[in-house]
Homo-oligomer: A and B are copies of this chain.
Amino acid sequence: MNITITAFERSPDGGKGLARDTRVRWALEETGQPYGVRLVSFAAMKEPAHRRLHPFGQIPTYEEGDLVLFETGAIVLHIAERHAGLLPDDAGARARAVMWMFAALNTVEPPILELQTAKFTEGDKPWTAERLPLVKDRIRHRLGELSVRLGDAEWLAGTFSAGDLMMVSVLLRSRPSGILDEFPSLAAYVARGEARPAYQRAFAAQLAVNAGPSLAG
């Protein structure tokens, strides 16, 4: 069954791999699934045709025959459940890997996204300079707790899993602020994720879109 995902025609990060299609590409590469990509402009993302796939007008989406999914977590879990490589066989280990997916998306990512909102959506507000340190401290609080749990383990729950894929992807978004590097064990964990051949292929594929000649050109 052919798989098609959507991605930004031009990613706001200019190809640093922080857009969420990279997470889906990475999952498809880890499990050896070929896929096609349909690029979507910012304007088209908010139009009815795209909103039929994604009610919140975002990327990525995932189409596989009649199945249409949005939400990166749901897409990665769907891929991980159907193809070997991202979830352990043991039921308990599997539940723990899925737990780390949710922890990445619901506990670690929200304060990181709050910083992006503070910088970009509220960047011109008079309170922003004074408020940013508070927002950054909320990220540090969570990363501190995460680094304690990770300890000197290679991955969060035994072998590499969809939980690590999601946590590494989320943590990458805390690197531009410098906060990730304040936690050397987490920075090393992220680097292990980035070193995986499947990540390298996913990163290169999104970079090829964003570093290529302008489509509008």
Contacts and interface: CB of A to CB of B under 8 A. Distances in A.
Interface stretch (A69-77, A174-182, A186-194): A69-77
A122 B113 CA distance: 17
Interface of A is mostly: helix
Interface string A80-118: 000000000000100110110111011101100110010
A150 to B, nearest CB: 9
Contact of A103 (B71, B134, B138, B149): B71
A69 B56 contact: no
Given A71-B102, A71-B106, A102-B71, A122 B134 contact: yes
Interface in A107-152: 107, 109-110, 113-114, 117, 121-122, 125-127, 130-131, 134, 138, 142, 145-146, 148-149
Contacts of A103: 56, 70-71, 74
Given A95-B67, A95-B69, A125-B127, A74 B102 contact: yes
A103 B61 CA distance: 13
Contacts of A67: 92, 95
13 contacts: A55-B146, A55-B148, A56-B107, A56-B142, A56-B146, A73-B102, A74-B98, A74-B101, A106-B109, A110-B114, A121-B134, A122-B134, A125-B131
Given A74-B95, A105-B106, 20 more contacts: A55-B146, A56-B145, A57-B145, A67-B92, A69-B95, A69-B96, A70-B103, A71-B102, A73-B102, A74-B99, A74-B102, A78-B98, A105-B105, A110-B110, A114-B117, A125-B127, A125-B131, A126-B127, A127-B127, A127-B130
